Amino acid sequence: MEDTRKADGMGIKPLLKVLGRQPETIPPVWMMRQAGRYLPEYRAVREKAGGFLDLCFNPELAAEVTLQPVRRFGFDAAILFSDILVIPLALGRKVWFVEGEGPRLEPLADAKALLSVRQEADQKLLSPIYETVRHVKSELAPETTLIGFCGAPWTVATYMVAGRGTPGQAPAKDLAAREPEAFQHVIDCLVDAAVDYLARQLEAGADVVQIFDTWAGSLPPKDFERWCVQPTERLIAKLRAKRPGAKVIGFARGAGKNIPHYVDETKVDAVSLESGIDRNFARDEIQSRVPVQGNVDPLILREGGVALDREVDAVLAAFSGGPFIFNLGHGILPDTPIAHVEQMLKRVRG
Ligand code: CP3
């Protein structure tokens, strides 16, 4: 008789077990931005691909860089190699990456520009990304979880408005305050585009999806509710209407004390924790609600040595009593030595 636990992956994927609230003695491990410039094999493929977006839209090469860190370190999860800014691209905006600086988009300066954002995402443009998911899925071991992702509407909107990363996200905050209805239009477009995008990633073989709200922490409480909590709640409800039981990890970076509320409202299955959060608070008020993921400080990972051992021990001590996925509190930095990643994994896995 077929083992149904194996058929749905729950019986053999440690990360999915944790999402189902069964703690593992040794926590499953992966790293945000695990496919990236700290790996020589990534840099080699990146060079071959040409631009960063060319790599995102090349299924064969994107699958290859997705798999590289899993092969090298035996991580418990692969995260799709793509970027949160492919959604604005699919909504008809211009997006490009400046080497050594970061993303650039044509900015949205006023209500008229906000209202000009297209409602339908170009799914044909995004189809190579679903192809990447299928390709990765076909090569992953059955115990490895495949994570899809998107940017949360607020975080993607901050880049669309400013046309680039901005300290404190002032341009988006100002425009949202001046033109709330037009800003809401962009948020609504981003919710619908994300629902479709994530549903198709799940259909193509992703086991779970993570929603990155990197700039959630820049919003004061009332705006946090309107631009982070409510759109994410709608996104997840609509996604689960399309894909019942869809598993979602939320990352409301910087939201700190507001995370329990974010969890209750959005109904995420788990949350990724930033490095700066009070770990006792996170254990008592967040892990008591949902499994948590995190939260080694990427700066300490780069530093290595005794400081890294202490950081790993502190993370394990805080969260090992409940359902927990070992990770960083934000993406790995490009100048992190590979030996430090190995040191961290050895300490986690014993
Ligand atoms: O985690 C992974 O390994 C999967 C791939 C992934 C990338 N971007 C690849 C990437 C994921 C999950 C993202 C998400 C993303 N992209 C976020 C949210 C998470 C976060 O880190 O806060 C944001 C804000 C972006 C937008 C973005 N993309 C920025 C600001 C930059 C420039 C910063 C940098 O590191 O260069 C990117 C580029 C980017 N996205 C790179 C990678 C590997 C570096 C590109 C390169 O190879 O030169």
Q: Is 46 a catalytic residue?
A: yes
Atom of ligand 1 nearest to the CA of 212: 18
- Residue 132 beta carbon below 6 angstroms from any ligand 1 atom: no
- Alpha-helical (H) ranges within 83-152 are 86-90, 111-115, 123-139
How far is residue 150 from each of residues 84, 162, 208, measured CA to CA in Å?
A: 5, 19, 11
pLDDT band at 1 (very low <50, low <70, confident <90, very high): very low
- Residue 254 beta carbon below 6 angstroms from any ligand 1 atom: no
Q: How far apart are CA 36 and CA 92, in angstroms?
A: 27
Mean pLDDT within 154-173? 97
Cβ–Cβ < 8 Å for 186, 160: yes
pLDDT band at 2 (very low <50, low <70, confident <90, very high): very low
pLDDT band at 254 (very low <50, low <70, confident <90, very high): very high
Residue 24: what pLDDT? 85
Which protein residue has the closest C-alpha to ligand 1 atom 35?
A: 102
Identify which of 272, 326, 323, 294 has the alpha carbon closest to the alpha carbon of residue 24: 323
Q: Which residue has the tokens 């800014």?
A: 85
> Which residue segments constitute the domains of the chain, with CATH numbers given?
14-349 (3.20.20.210)
Mean pLDDT within 177-185? 98
- Residue 274 beta carbon below 6 angstroms from any ligand 1 atom: no
Predicted confidence (pLDDT) per residue in 84-98, tens digit: 999 999 999 999 999
**Test site for ligand 1: of 55, 83, 212, most ligand atoms within 8 A of the Cβ:** 83
Residue 5: what pLDDT? 45
What does DSSP say about strands 270-272 and 248-252: parallel, antiparallel, or unpaired? parallel
Of 1-10, 27-36, 224-233, minimum mean pLDDT range: 1-10
- Residue 175 beta carbon below 6 angstroms from any ligand 1 atom: no
- Residue 75 beta carbon below 6 angstroms from any ligand 1 atom: no
What does DSSP say about strands 324-328 and 292-296: parallel, antiparallel, or unpaired? parallel
Q: Which residue has the higher pLDDT, 6 or 289?
A: 289
Q: Is 310 a catalytic residue?
A: no
Distance of CA 6 to the CA centre of its chain: 26
Whole-number average pLDDT of the chain: 96
Predicted confidence (pLDDT) per residue in 206-226, tens digit: 999 999 999 999 999 999 999
Residue 10: what pLDDT? 56
Q: E strands, 173-305, where?
A: 208-213, 248-252, 270-272, 292-296
Mean pLDDT within 56-66? 98
What does DSSP say about strands 102-105 and 95-98: parallel, antiparallel, or unpaired? antiparallel
What does DSSP say about strands 208-213 and 248-252: parallel, antiparallel, or unpaired? parallel
Residue 298: what pLDDT? 98
Residue 8 has pLDDT above 80, yes or no: no
Atom of ligand 1 nearest to the CA of 34: 3
Question: By percentage, how much of the chain surpasses pLDDT 70?
Answer: 97
Predicted confidence (pLDDT) per residue in 318-346, tens digit: 999 999 999 999 999 999 999 999 999 99
Give the number of other Cβ atoms within 10 Å of residue 33's Cβ.
17
User: 33, 72, 289, 347: which one is catalytic?
Assistant: 33
Q: How far apart are CA 55 and CA 70, in angstroms?
A: 18
Which protein residue has the closest C-alpha to ligand 1 atom 1?
A: 33
User: 42, 46, 192, 197: which one is catalytic?
Assistant: 46
- Residue 62 beta carbon below 6 angstroms from any ligand 1 atom: no
